[in-house]
Amino acid sequence: MKPLAMEIAVSLATGFSYHLSECIVQGFATSHAAQIEPGEELANECRLAGKAGITWLQNLKNGNNSKSDREEVEASIQRLIKHGDGLLPKMEDVKAEEIGDLLENEMAGMTQAIEAAAAKIQDMLHKTREDNTGVDLEVNENILGSCTDLMKAIKVLVEKSRDLQREIVVSGRGTTSVADFYKKNHRWTEGLLSAAKAVGWGATTLLDTADRVVRGQGKFEEIMACAHEIAASTAQLVVSSKVKADRGSQLLKELGAASKEVNQATGNVVASAKAAAEVVEDQLMSIHQTLVASNSR
């Protein structure tokens, strides 16, 4: 393959990988906000789409660009989209005057879930300082501290998202009412509703997981998984919020900055969980070595 053709092929493969992974991430985030059975069906379609994409890329790498592989990728993505669309609230079934209230209530519920989770984590942090010492205290403090920072970052992002949404509505509705604007742009509204549900769910799940971990009933890997899921949910909210935004909007820039803070905080949660796992593993190894040495005497 000529250099130029190779460069184009790599560029196309990279673009495909990025967009497919983004689709899968958003699909998983949406599945968590749905009822159990349809949510599991969507999550399964996400896995199948990922498998189809990997298979096609691997075969492409080996020089086998088969039509059947491409068709399977396309079909799996279409199935994913179909399942995702089926989970979205149907705006045409909602009265125009109710749409604004529906979205506002969901956004308010998301904010309340985040604030409640942050407050509960602070209570857990206070209790762990009372009940633990040494390594256990250090591990719990690091995990709960990083979770608190993540909640703070998410709260800021949510506030920026709501500000941007209001700006979009004000600048885009013209002489129509806010309710009519939401009705007319129902796809955008559906995306916001889905994202808000996913973020609220993610905050609650992270709280429950952190609680189990500090009580010794959960695994550090669960904290990492929750952090990644809530990051995916906030990414979905960012994408949904800025779809109709003016590229020159200051609020859009602020939302982007808030999104970066969430990503940084997510990385810190994952890092603290990994470090905690290593500390506990070293502690167990030390105890094991001490017992072995004691028994060998």
Q: Where are the domains of the chain?
A: 3-87, 93-288
User: In this structure, which amino acid lies at residue 257?
Assistant: A
* Predicted pLDDT at 250: 93
Question: What does the pLDDT read at residue 257?
Answer: 92
User: What whole-number distance in Å separates Cα of residue 171 and Cα of residue 32?
Assistant: 32
Q: Which residue has the tokens 């591990």?
A: 139
| Residue 39: its H or E element | helix 36-61
| Burial environment of residue 208 by CB neighbours within 10 A (0 to 12, 13 to 18, 19 or more) | middle
Reading the block at residue 32, the tokens are: 């968590």
Reference 239, options 191, 187, 173; nearest CA is 191
Candidate CATH numbers 1.20.1410.10, 3.10.580.10, 3.30.420.40, 3.30.160.100; the one for domain 93-288: 1.20.1410.10
- In order along the chain (297 residues), what is the average pLDDT of each group of 10 residues? 59 76 77 74 89 87 81 88 71 56 78 85 86 79 89 89 87 71 78 79 83 82 83 84 84 90 89 83 63 61
pTM of the model: 0.62
